[in-house]
Amino acid sequence: MHKRSILFFVTLFFLSSCKISYGIHGIKVYKNISVDSHITEDKAIEKVILPYKRTMEKQMNLKISYTDQELRKDGKDAVLGILLADFTYEWTKDWAEKNNLPLDAVLLNTGGIRSSIGKGDILLRHIYEILPFENQLVIVKIIGKDLMALFEYYTREHRKDPVSRLYIKIVGGQLEKALVNNAEVEPLREYYVATSDYLALGGDHMKFFLKGNIIYTGVRLRDVFIDVFKKNPVVKPPVNNDRIIFED
């Protein structure tokens, strides 16, 4: 018993002697510096940046088209989204044909359009303002029976988005018409819908796209719009704006 007590105290001694001691050393106090108007400009850096700034401003102020009316992104007279959807269809159809693919429709999201375009010259910077994101244009190949979830989505969410070659009519909360290129959806047919990679990957809760296969174009939506605006010196908004209709 005596030996066990000695062993216990020896062990306790070694454990206590091996205890690591922690300390705080070398404390430095830093001061936050607010980036505001009180900070003076660095003339040397400004001189280096100035040529690049002037070149960028010149490029951003390049006229690429013209509109004789305001192109609004939202509100009762919103036409910008529909215009961009039609432009997307026009550009993507040409790309698809060159790659031996069909194209049936376009679906964009209103939230992706961040600004309106005023009456007058349309400058390059306007396109960056309305679409500041780096979203890529993609085509989703999806079977008809899965595509019906798109129409059910709008019936449930009660929202309007820019679409082209799609017609959705909802009356009293019930889906009354669901058309693609003026034809009813065929359950076993393959459809090709152009959209952004954000939506194709389920953004804005558009989970129905996840049932399809994504075809990447490698082109940003913004570049698509720039290209089509340049090809249209005078932009005329589409006439048939009622594509997603809700009636009580």
- Domain of 84: which CATH number? 3.90.780.10
Establish if 188 belongs to a structural domain.
Answer: yes
Establish if 36 belongs to a structural domain.
Answer: no
For residue range 111-122, list pLDDT tens digits in order: 999 999 999 999
Q: Is 133 a residue whose pLDDT tops 80? A: yes
In the prediction, which pLDDT does 21 show? 54
Establish if 134 belongs to a structural domain.
Answer: yes
Mean of all residue pLDDT scores within the chain: 88
**What average pLDDT does the segment 206-211 reach?**
97
Establish if 12 belongs to a structural domain.
Answer: no
pLDDT class of 215 with cuts at 50, 70, 90: very high
Give me the percent of the chain exceeding a pLDDT of 70: 85
Establish if 127 belongs to a structural domain.
Answer: yes
Q: Rounded to two decimals, what is the model's pTM?
A: 0.80
In the prediction, which pLDDT does 10 show? 46
Structural domain boundaries, residue 155: 58-247
- DSSP codes, the chain: -HHHHHHHHHHHHHHHHTPPPP-------------STTSPP-HHHHHHHHHHHHHHHHHHT-EEEEESS-B-SSSTT--HHHHHHHHHHHHHHHHHHHTT----EEE--GGG----B-SEEEEHHHHHHH--S-PEEEEEEEEHHHHHHHHHHHHHH-----EESEEEEEETTEEEEEEETTEEPPTTSEEEEEEEHHHHTTGGG-GGGGGSEEEEEEEEHHHHHHHHHHH-SSB---S----EEEE-
